[in-house]
Amino acid sequence: MKSLNLYNEQDIRFENLSEPIIENEEDVIIKVKAVGICGSDISRYRKLGPYVPGMTFGHEFAGEVSKVGSEVSHVQVGDRVVGCPTFYCGECENCQKGDLSRCAKLTVIGARHPGAYAEFVKLPKSHVLSIPDNVDYDTAALVEPSSVVAHGFYRSSIKPGADVAVMGCGSIGLLAVQWAKIFGAKKVYAIDIDMAKLKIAKELGADVVINSLEKPAHEQLMAYTNGIGVDLAIESAGSPVTSSQVFALPKKGGEVVFMGIPYADIKIERFYFEKIVRNELRVLGSWNAISSPFPGQEWRSSIHYMSTGGINVKPMISHRLALEDGPETFDNIINRKDAYVKVLFYPDKERK
């Protein structure tokens, strides 16, 4: 089968491998119809995060059930499904308390288990969820990143009528704009330095867009909020710069939820750090997309709102490519050779 496999730093290869086989009674083999590039894939490709050399990469996907083990009854061959890529140990203290996203041995396919940049991928039955007929494969491939965002909102104290700022309008930020509305936000401010991404944010429900290249984001936001700030600020850019600037966005007693991961040291200027203390901010980290009962309300809610139209991913998809385009695409992304938002690969697509 066609696959993309990571061997070393910036060394991803398009290769043919043997298809996975049913090895135990709870196995489900899925024919991958669409699979996305995640920001964590880019980081792992660039700097080699946790991985096994030669491992098939990728974890955001949707597809069709191809084969099932004898103990699988909730899905059958031909069903349209999405797969939760995350594994937890079930034995550590956090797992025992039901805090699955805090598992000491948390891992995903594409790192230590064969991933979804392939024609077929295998998962245990508990990781496989059916998708409604009106949710296409492009949309379903983004259930996992949508669930990551939902997890962060469930961690927060957001209430209907809140004002929310989203800093960074990549795929996570664009999903956060939509989840803010689902959680009842009265007004959503989308912040970025890329006008093309801000245009998409507006299309997806942002009430106000702020280009922080023009003037510091907090100054523009305060002008809109009469100097008060927002109830909740989402950091979704994963930039060392925005990871400090975000503290100037909430009102006194407000919240910050970090969804982005800055792969560099963060230096927080005194002005921004004092906002945490003087405004008594509540600062939260949000990691992964699972909760108890596994895979969690994040997954069920994402599928539901994709079905009702509350989450629209189509404007986010900038590239639709064949798996064979993978090595070139990863190189282009890290070297900024094109403007990417969300890239989807189609294993059954032929390269042009």
**pLDDT, tens digit, 9 for 90 and up, residues 315-340:** 999 999 999 999 999 999 999 998 99
pLDDT at 261: 86
Per-residue pLDDT reduced to its tens digit, 137-176: 999 999 999 999 999 999 999 999 999 999 999 999 999 9
According to the model, what pLDDT value does residue 245 have?
98
Task: Compute the distance between CA of residue 89 and CA of residue 274 in angstroms, rounded to an integer.
Answer: 39
> Do residues 280 and 251 lie in contact, with contact meaning Cβ atoms separated by under 8 Å?
no
Pairwise CA distance, residues 82 & 61, whole Å? 6
pLDDT at 51: 77
pLDDT of residue 233: 98
DSSP string, 288-346: SS--SSTT-HHHHHHHHHHHHTSS--GGGEEEEEEGGGHHHHHHHHHTT-S--SEEEEE
- What pLDDT is stored for residue 50 in this prediction? 72
d(CA 137, CA 61): 8
Which residues face 317 on adjacent strands?
342
Tell me, what's the pLDDT at 49? 72
pLDDT (0 to 100) of residue 293: 97
Global pTM reads: 0.96
Render pLDDT for 247-285 as a digit per residue (tens, 0 to 9).
999 999 999 999 998 878 999 999 999 999 999 999 999
Mean pLDDT, the chain, integer: 96
Q: What is the H or E stretch that residue 55 is in?
A: strand 55-56
Residue 179: per-residue pLDDT: 98
Mean pLDDT across the stretch 91-108?
97
Distance CA 92, CA 96 (A): 6
